[in-house]
Chain A
């Protein structure tokens, strides 16, 4: 038995922290860390709802596995983009994104 409010509070906090990381960082890799935290919050919500309600299809856990896989694919491509930008510009500063030298 578990109080269902506890996981919900953790989900809210993790998502808020991830959003803060996305908005307050200028290094592109650190922005990605914020995105990862938001995805982790989404996965925790899936697993929580799957475990605390009657989930005959096990959709909550299966969806979390899918989210983890998609996050792995996303981060591989995102880091490829970041390395390409670094080679082209010499920095990965989000505040200068879109500016011409």
Chain B
């Protein structure tokens, strides 16, 4: 066990445990709050792997923006405070989902470990300077395309929010 191993195990265990709570808790708001813990721990994993810029972007964008959006959506759709059972799935469906999820996790981990082996590898995250040179050199066109994508998403979200939708009868096209 190296220091990297220990640090990564701690961050990864926190991330996986809080992700598990995020998908299993009955409190809707707690689910979004556990997602924050999981994503912060994941950005700790990025730090251990030497990708400090990605870790900071993860903190800023995910924890700062995405989870806040999710919390807004929960409140705007009148999520109940406290435990709620009105959206419970049948036990059969949850058991089937558990089997599928566990099988996918086992399959992915097995395939990835057999592809990369379990040797000790040197962690080389590079410097932020090198990353910036690559981002605005080799990858500059995809980067510019992304800014266009963000603009399109902004306008699309605005248009969706302003759609004139009534309840049921008046909006058959939108409900269909």
Q: Do A and B bind each other?
A: yes
Complex contact B109–A93 (CB within 8 A): no
Name the CB-closest residue of A to B170.
Answer: A88
Which residues of B75-97 have CB atoms within 8 Å of chain A's CB atoms? Answer: 76-77, 79, 87-89, 93-94, 96-97
How many chain B residues touch the partner (CB < 8 A)?
A: 101
Q: Is the CB of A25 within 8 A of B89?
A: yes
Chain A residues with Cβ below 8 Å from B37 are none
Complex interface: chain B residues within 8 A of A84 (CB) = 160-161, 163, 165, 174
Q: Which of B102, B104, B110 has the most CB of A within 10 A?
A: B104
Nearest Cβ in chain A — how far from B55, in angstroms? Answer: 9
Q: Is the CB of A4 within 8 A of B116?
A: yes
User: With a CB–CB cut-off of 8 A, which chain B residues contact A23?
Assistant: 93, 96-97, 100-101
A90 to chain B, nearest CB (A): 7
CB distance from A74 to the nearest CB of B (A): 8
- Do the beta carbons of B49 and A47 come within 8 Å of each other? yes
Question: A45-89, CB under 8 A of B: which get 1 and which 0?
Answer: 101111110110110111011101111111111011111101111
The residue in chain B whose Cβ has the minimal distance to the Cβ of A17 is B19
Contact A77 B153 (CB under 8 A): yes
The 4 closest A-B pairs by CB, nearest first: A16-B105, A12-B109, A20-B101, A21-B23
B contact residues vs A (CB 8 Å cutoff):
2, 4-5, 8-9, 12, 15-16, 19-20, 22-23, 28, 31-32, 35, 38-39, 42, 45-46, 48-51, 53-54, 57-58, 61-62, 65-66, 69-70, 72-74, 76-77, 79, 87-89, 93-94, 96-98, 100-110, 112-113, 116-126, 130-131, 134-135, 138-139, 142-143, 146, 149-150, 152-154, 156-161, 163, 165-168, 171, 174-175
